[in-house]
Amino acid sequence: MKYLDEYRDPAIARRYADAIAAITTRPWTLMEICGGQTHSIVRHGIDQMLPKGITLLHGPGCPVCVTPSGVIDAAVAIAQRPGVTFCSFGDMLRVPGSGGSLLSARAHGADVRMVYSPLDAVALAQANPDRQVVFFAIGFETTAPTTAMAVLQAERDGLDNFSMLVSHVLVPPAIEALLADPDTSIDGFLAAGHVCTIMGFWEYEPLATRFALPIVVTGFEPVDLLQGIYMCIRQLEEGRAEVENQYSRSVRRAGNDIAQRTLAKVFVPQSQGWRGLGEIPASGLRLAPAYERFDALARFSDIAVPPDQPGECISGDILRGAKRPADCPAFGTRCTPEHPLGATMVSSEGTCAAYYRYRRPRQDASAAASLSP
Ligand code: SF4
């Protein structure tokens, strides 16, 4: 299959791993900010194919995981209101807030529905004019345009029973926050190909210049990742700090103009809380004044987003790349995908879920050999 099989070819992957080893003269630490890339790295043992001095850190790239527990508490509070139908993507239903998840709210009688698109929630509002339908809008720049389209559709339909709890996040301010940390050990970034398909990579150029480090827009298959790592290491070894595009079969520097204009019409940037990273200026989105009537927190104005409650889950540290799942005493014992204690185990893109699925101790020996379609 074109654009898939050739990016999973073990021989090509091995050649890139050898090329990385050939140009590496000292230790380097790279971070990917994409849950899909994290899963591919762990699944295919990409990190185990690299020279010993190359460390891959898994960053805050899972949209479900970075949603703060306080926002989940607000979602549960809204879902429990009489007359409300609360709609969310599937993984988000299981993430525990301080007092339970949306799924547990459903078990106690709340009308909580799983949807595959924000437009499904708009359709529910059209079909149920007697219900207040609320959509939980989470995710990066990849999903935010479809949320914006749902707002425009609700406006066209004249719906007054549709609103959304918005917790969208933006990648470049998160990179800036990670690099502004004086304790950071990150030498280079792999940027997420799907985010850059929408937003382009022009936003990353000032970051590469200001922090003097390479950023390589990278895809998701094993050969994509190894090529992205090779390009990043080559820049580091040559003393360059540029934005390069490994994922050129999908990404252009300017990105998708229509999606960006739709986003800019419906949303404006705002300060946003991230699990593990805290509040980051201009890293989130809120509805623009013309669309504020679709804001669920304005509609249910007595419900506020509470501060996150510390618990035993260390997913915040894992999302910063400061710890790994094996550092958590609950990993694989009290915390499993069937009984998750935290977001990074719930989400199909979460780091703990990836290590549980592909890298538990008994699987280590076979992980490096798993590079296959
Ligand atoms: S293993 Fe579970 S409790 Fe530990 S950090 Fe991961 S999600 Fe949290």
How many angstroms separate the CA atoms of 313 and 65, rounded? 12
pLDDT score for 287: 98
In the chain, what percentage of residues exceed pLDDT 70? 95
Task: For residue 4, name the pLDDT band (cuts at 50, 70, 90).
Answer: confident
- 125-154, pLDDT tens digit by residue? 999 999 999 999 999 999 999 999 999 999
- Sequence-distant (6+) residues with CB within 8 A of 352 are 315, 318, 325, 328, 331, 335, 340, 342, 344, 345
The residue whose CB lies within 8 Å of the most ligand 1 atoms, and thus the one to mutate among 64, 334, 341, is: 341
Does residue 167 have a pLDDT over 60?
A: yes
Task: For residue 318, name the pLDDT band (cuts at 50, 70, 90).
Answer: very high
**How much distance in Å is there from the Cα of 316 to the middle of ligand 1?**
9
Task: For residue 2, name the pLDDT band (cuts at 50, 70, 90).
Answer: low
The residue whose CB lies within 8 Å of the most ligand 1 atoms, and thus the one to mutate among 62, 308, 344, 347, is: 344
Average pLDDT over residues 41-48: 95
pLDDT score for 308: 78
| Strands 54-58, 215-218: pairing kind | unpaired
Containing 191, the helix (H) or strand (E) segment is strand 188-192
pLDDT score for 364: 44
Task: For residue 1, name the pLDDT band (cuts at 50, 70, 90).
Answer: low
Does residue 209 have a pLDDT over 50?
A: yes
- 348-365, pLDDT tens digit by residue? 889 999 999 998 765 444
How many angstroms separate the CA atoms of 363 and 356, rounded? 10
The residue whose CB lies within 8 Å of the most ligand 1 atoms, and thus the one to mutate among 94, 308, 331, 348, is: 331
Containing 180, the helix (H) or strand (E) segment is helix 171-180
pLDDT score for 111: 98
pLDDT score for 349: 87
Q: Which tokens hold the place of 220?
A: 């998701």
Residues with C-beta less than 6 Å from any ligand 1 atom: 313-315, 318, 325, 328, 330-331, 335, 340-342, 344-345, 352
SS3 125: helix
Q: How many CB atoms lie within 10 A of CB 36?
A: 18
The residue whose CB lies within 8 Å of the most ligand 1 atoms, and thus the one to mutate among 352, 356, 357, is: 352
pLDDT score for 30: 98
Q: How many helices (H) and strands (E) does the chain have?
A: 18, 11
pLDDT score for 360: 76
Count of residues for the chain? 373
**How much distance in Å is there from the Cα of 351 to the middle of ligand 1?**
9
Average pLDDT over residues 221-226: 96
How many angstroms separate the CA atoms of 316 and 190, rounded? 20
**How much distance in Å is there from the Cα of 350 to the middle of ligand 1?**
10
**How much distance in Å is there from the Cα of 77 to the middle of ligand 1?**
24
Mean pLDDT is lowest, of 13-17, 100-104, 165-169, 359-363, for 359-363
How many angstroms separate the CA atoms of 9 and 7, rounded? 6
**How much distance in Å is there from the Cα of 346 to the middle of ligand 1?**
9
**How much distance in Å is there from the Cα of 335 to the middle of ligand 1?**
6
How many angstroms separate the CA atoms of 42 and 319, rounded? 15
- 274-291, pLDDT tens digit by residue? 988 899 999 999 999 999
Query: Mean pLDDT of all residues in the chain?
Result: 93
| Ligand 1 atom closest to Cα of residue 329 | 4
Task: For residue 371, name the pLDDT band (cuts at 50, 70, 90).
Answer: low
**How much distance in Å is there from the Cα of 216 to the middle of ligand 1?**
29
Dihedral over alpha carbons 199, 200, 201, 202 (to 10 degrees): -90
> Can you spell out the DSSP letters for 288-353?
-GGGGGGBHHHHTTT---PPPPP-S--HHHHHTTSS-GGGSTTBTTTB-SSS-SSHHHHSTT-HHH
